Structure 1
Amino acid sequence: MIKQSPPIDVSIPYDAAWVANKTVLITGGASGFGAGFVRHWAKNGATVIFGDVNTEKGDGLAREVRKETGNDRVHFIHCDVSDWQSQVNFFKEAVKLSPHGGIDTVVANAGVAHKDTLLSPGDLSAAEPAPPSLKTMDVNCTGVLYTVHLAYYWLPRNPGSEACSLDSDPVKQTRDRHLLLVGSLASLAPITFATQYCASKHAVLGLFRALRGATQLHGVRINLLCPYFMDTPIVPPETRLLIAGGSLGKVEDVVDAGTRFVADSRVLGRALVVGPKMSVKQSESGEWVVVDRGSEGSVEKALWEPCADDWFEQDPFNRTLIRALNAVQAARGWSGWAYDIVKTVMYALGLK
C-alpha cells in the first residue's frame, strides 16, 4: 500500500529551476523557513503565494522579493491557519492569482512555539485550575489539518496535472500535485520542556505516515521536512540557553531540502531531517561518526533521512502485532466473525 520513491541520495544533484512556472502555496511564509522558501522559489521562477498572521512582515516581504527577483508573481495574503474560513479564503484567492488557475504544491509550514502552560496549573490552592492555553496545538495541529484538508480538495483539481508517479520527468512535468509537511526534530524525539510543541509535531509525523499510504487513492505526493533547532525567531532565548554549546542549523539547508522535494516530482513519501552542517564519516558498521573537517573520506552533511526504510526496519513491533492479530482472526474463522456480528447487533439494540 505504501507508494514511495527510493531513499533519497542527497549527493545526487537536482535543479532548482524545476520549480519554474509552478504555483506554490505556503502557510506561515513571512519569516523563518517560509520566508526562505518564498525568496528562493520566486528567484527560480515559481508563482509563490504565501499567508501569515503578520500582515506587516508578509506585505513587506512580498514587495521586497518582487523587487529583488523581478518576479511579479509573488503574493501575500493575510491568513490565520487556526481559523478555518481564513484558510478557505486563502486557498480560493491563491487559485485566482495562479496563472494557470491551480495549485501545484501546498507547504504546511505555519507553526508556533508559545510558552507552554499545560504543566503549569498555577495556584494549587485555587478551587479549580484555569484552562491551559492550547494555541500551539491550534496552529501546529488543527491548522495543519485544515491545510491538508484544503490541499486534498484543490491539488487534484490542478489543471494539466496527473496523479503522482515515480516515473514522472521533473524537466517536462510542470504541473504537480504535491503536499509538503513541515515537522521538526520534535516529530521524532521528545522535547521535554515544550510539551505541546512536541505533541503537535509528533502529530505531523503521524499524519505524514498515514497519508503516505493514501498516495495511490488520491494521486497526491507527500513529503516531510523535520528541521532541528534552526537560527530563526521561533527558537526563543530560553531554548537557545538550554542548547548553548551545540550548534543551530541554517535556514538555507532547510530551503535546500524543501526545494529538492518541491522541484523533483519523482520524490514521494520521503522525509528529511535538517540539522547543523557537520563533518562525518561512515564507519565499518554503517554508523555515521563526527570527524575533523577535511579528514579522509569525510563529507559535509546537514540532511539525514529518518524514514528511509521505516516500514521494514522501524516497525517490527507493529508487524509482529498485526501478524498475531491476523492469526487470531484466522483461527476464529467464520464462526468467530458471526459471533462478533451478533454481539454487535445486540449491543446496538441495548441487549448486551
Structure 2
Amino acid sequence: MAASQLTGMSSYIKQSPPLDFGIPYVDSWVKDRTIIVTGGASGFGAGFARRWATNGATVILGDVDVEKGDALARALRNETGRESAAHFVHCDVTDWQSQVNLFKEAIRLSPHGGIDTVVANAGIQAKDRLQEPGDLSAASPSPPNLATVDVNVTGVLYTTHLACYWLPRNPGSKPCNMNSVPGKQTRDRHLLLLGSVASLAPIAAAPLYATSKHAVLGLFRSLRATSHLQGIRVNIILPYFIDTTIVPVIAKVALAGGGMGKVEDVVEAGTRLVADTRILGRGIVVGPKMNVKQDDSGEWHLVSKNEQGSTKTALWEVHADDFEEVEVFTRRVVKLLYAVELARGWVGWATDMLTLVRNQIFGQR
C-alpha cells in the first residue's frame, strides 16, 4: 500500500503513529489535571493515583471500598501537602446513578471545574462457574453469577458514556491533536481503558473474564476510530498476569516458575498515555520485564542483559497497524457496498422501500 494512502487513513481516523518507547515523556505533564480513576482504592488504581497526585494532578478516586479509598485520599493529601491532590467518592460502577454522582462530584472538586482524563480501571474476576452449571432441572433454576460482566462491561460502558459527555466540556480544553505540545497543553480530553491479556487470548478457566475483557478491547477499537469527532483521545492498557490480589491463587500456582508483571510497569504505561497528549488510539501490553532482541524478520528473542543491541522492556504495543489492515479493509468493503448502491440507483431504493412498507403492513419479514 502506498505511503500516501496510509498517511491519509491515519489522518482520517485520527490515530497517532505507532509508539516509540524510546521517546521520553515527563511525569510533570500531568500537573494541574483532574483525573477520575474508577476502582481507585487499590491495585492499579491506587498506583495511578499515587504517581499522578505526587506530580501535581487532582485525582478523584471512585470505589466501593470506602475504608481503603478514603485512607488513600487522606494519605495523598498529607504526602503532597495539597488539599486538592486526591478525593475519594464512593462509587459502585454497576449503578448508573452512582457513576453520575461520581462525575458530578469530580466537577465540583476539580480546581478548574472540568475533567481532563477518565480512567475506566474498575474490574473484578468473580468465581467463574459458567461451565459448571450444576443441577438446572428445577422449575426456576438460578442464573449464573455475571458480576464480572456487570463490573467489567456494563460498568465500563457507563463510565465511557459519561466521559463522552463531560470530557468535551472540560473548560479550556481543545480537541485532541497528535501534534500537540504536551508540556504546554494542560487541559486534556482523554479516556483510558483497562483491558487485559485476556482481551487478546482465551483464558480457558475464566470464560466470563475473558469475554468481558474482549468486550473492552472491542470498545477501544471502535471508539478510537470515531472519538476524534468529540476531540477525545482514547487509549488502552492490556496487562498480562500482574502480581495483584485479582489474580487467583490457582492462577499463581499455574504461573509459578514463569514471569509475572509488576504494578509499577502498568503505572508506567498508564502515565505515558495520560501525560503525553500526542498519543491517540494506542494500546500497550504490559508483561514481565525481559531482555529481548529483534532479528531481521521482526521476531523477538529472549537474550542476556549484556547482549549487544538488546532492550529491557515490559511494554509492548498491540494493534499498532490496525489502520493499515482492519480500517483500510473496512473502507474497501464500504466502498464496494456504496458502488452496489450506486449501481442499483433510485430503482433499487424504491424497490427496497416498497418491500419494507409491504412487510410492515402485512406483518411479513
Under a length normalisation based on structure 2, what TM-score does the superposition of the two structures give? 0.92
Residue 294 (str. 1) matches residue 306 (str. 2): yes
Give the equivalent residue in structure 1 for 2:31: 20
CA offsets 1:21-59 (integer angstroms, 9 cap, x no match): 000110000111000001000110001111111111111
Give the equivalent residue in structure 2 for 1:275: 287
Give the equivalent residue in structure 2 for 1:11: 22
Whole-Å separation in 1 of the counterparts to 2:141 and 2:185: 56
User: In structure 1, what residue type is equivalent to 2:143?
Assistant: P
Give the equivalent residue in structure 2 for 1:37: 48
Residue 285 (structure 1) aligned to one of 297, 300, 315? 297
% same residue: 63
Q: Secondary structure at the match of 1:305?
A: strand
Under a length normalisation based on structure 1, what TM-score does the superposition of the two structures give? 0.95
Residue 241 (structure 1) aligned to one of 241, 253, 257? 253
Alpha-carbon shift at residue 303 of structure 1 (Å): 0.8
Aligned length: 352
Residue 61 (structure 1) aligned to one of 72, 86, 89? 72
| C-alpha distance 160-319 of structure 1, shift in aligned 2 (>3 A) | closer
Give the equivalent residue in structure 1 for 2:317: 305
Alpha-carbon shift at residue 320 of structure 1 (Å): 6.7
Of stretches 154-163 and 64-73 in structure 1, the one that deviates more from structure 2 is: 64-73
Whole-Å separation in 2 of the counterparts to 1:212 and 1:26: 20
Give the equivalent residue in structure 2 for 1:172: 184
Whole-Å separation in 1 of the counterparts to 2:19 and 2:348: 45
CA offsets 1:33-86 (integer angstroms, 9 cap, x no match): 000001000110001111111111111111222222223221111110000111
Counterpart contact for 1:122–1:129, Cα < 8 Å: no
Whole-Å separation in 2 of the counterparts to 1:301 and 1:322: 39
CA offsets 1:123-173 (integer angstroms, 9 cap, x no match): 255455420111111100000011011111111111111111122111111
Alpha-carbon shift at residue 326 of structure 1 (Å): 4.6
Alpha-carbon shift at residue 263 of structure 1 (Å): 0.6
CA offsets 1:215-274 (integer angstroms, 9 cap, x no match): 231111111111111011111101112222221101111111101111111111111111
Residue 232 (str. 1) matches residue 227 (str. 2): no
Residue 94 (structure 2) aligned to one of 82, 86, 94? 82
Counterpart contact for 1:121–1:130, Cα < 8 Å: no
User: In structure 1, what residue type is equivalent to 2:169?
Assistant: R
User: In structure 1, what residue type is equivalent to 2:210?
Assistant: C
Alpha-carbon shift at residue 11 of structure 1 (Å): 1.1
Q: Secondary structure at the match of 2:151?
A: helix
CA offsets 1:182-230 (integer angstroms, 9 cap, x no match): 1111111111211111111111111111111222311111111111110
Unaligned runs of 5+ in 1: none
Give the equivalent residue in structure 2 for 1:100: 112
Unaligned runs of 5+ in 2: 1-11
Whole-Å separation in 2 of the counterparts to 1:289 and 1:349: 65
